[in-house]
Amino acid sequence: MTDPVIELVEPVIDLVDVVAVLGSFPALAGLSLRVERGEIVLLRGPNGAGKTTVLRLCAGLVPVVRGRGRVLGLDLVAERDAVRTRVGLLGHSNGLYADLSVTENVRFWGATVGASSDEVDGALERLDLSGRLADVPVRRLSAGQKRRTALACLVARRAEVWLLDEPHAGLDAIGRDELDETLHQAASAGATVLVASHELERTGALATRTIDVVAGRATEAGQPHEGDPT
């Protein structure tokens, strides 16, 4: 059990000098990051800088080799399974089943945490999926509609931390606006959102804070990077 007092005081994401390795490649080389509840934080940086690894590490999919990592007050090594039940990761794929309808997908993911029918209906309504799209098989949806369905699954799963990797990829202008609105609503409702994106103008405007990730280390945007000439 997590101490509720600690949970209130601690940041939602607290990475201190974290090292992570993918195969033999050092993906994170002493990265530190703090994210508070309700923040929308943009991770920006060149390809291979470690943005996706940060997200996967926070989801408990990449092990912490060295340093200290806590999400929602839970240790990423000792309490990894508990972390997983409370975060949602949306990567390049949506994790949807093409032959199931929108409602069936959201119901399935909600049911994995014991969500009630009301919660599932609420998730569908919040993402504007309760109307004509509700019974449409996912394979017939547009890229934007699939993204919205995947986000509805996160809502139904009661994910407290949303880890999004290039969420705007493949979306048209309307889809992007809808996604931004959804992220704003989620943050307003208390969710914490960490976004890795190359869409700097759009996501930068959406984010409450921007973090530069370069060569496996993170710095607040505008601050000099470690190793930069002073």
C-alpha separations of 141 from 90, 126, 180 in Å: 17, 18, 19
CB of 98 to other proteins, least distance (A): 7
Residue 140 or residue 225: which is nearer to other proteins going by CB? 140
CB of 81 to other proteins, least distance (A): 6
Give the binding site for other proteins (CB under 8 A).
59-63, 81-89, 91-100, 104, 108-109, 111-113, 137, 157
Q: Measure the CA–CA gap between 70 and 79, rounded to whole angstroms.
A: 9
Residue 82 or residue 134: which is nearer to other proteins going by CB? 82
Is residue 43 a contact partner of residue 229, using CB atoms and an 8 Å limit?
Answer: no
Residue 110 or residue 212: which is nearer to other proteins going by CB? 110
Residue 143 or residue 189: which is nearer to other proteins going by CB? 143
Is residue 17 a contact partner of residue 28, using CB atoms and an 8 Å limit?
Answer: no
CB of 139 to other proteins, least distance (A): 10
Q: Are strands 209-214 and 217-220 parallel, antiparallel or unpaired?
A: antiparallel
Residue 49 or residue 153: which is nearer to other proteins going by CB? 153
CB of 120 to other proteins, least distance (A): 13
Residue 90's nearest CA partner among 17, 22, 142, 143 is: 143
Edge-to-edge order in the sheet of strand 87-90:
87-90, 161-165, 192-196, 40-44, 209-214, 217-220
CB of 65 to other proteins, least distance (A): 13
Q: Measure the CA–CA gap between 211 and 196, rounded to whole angstroms.
A: 10
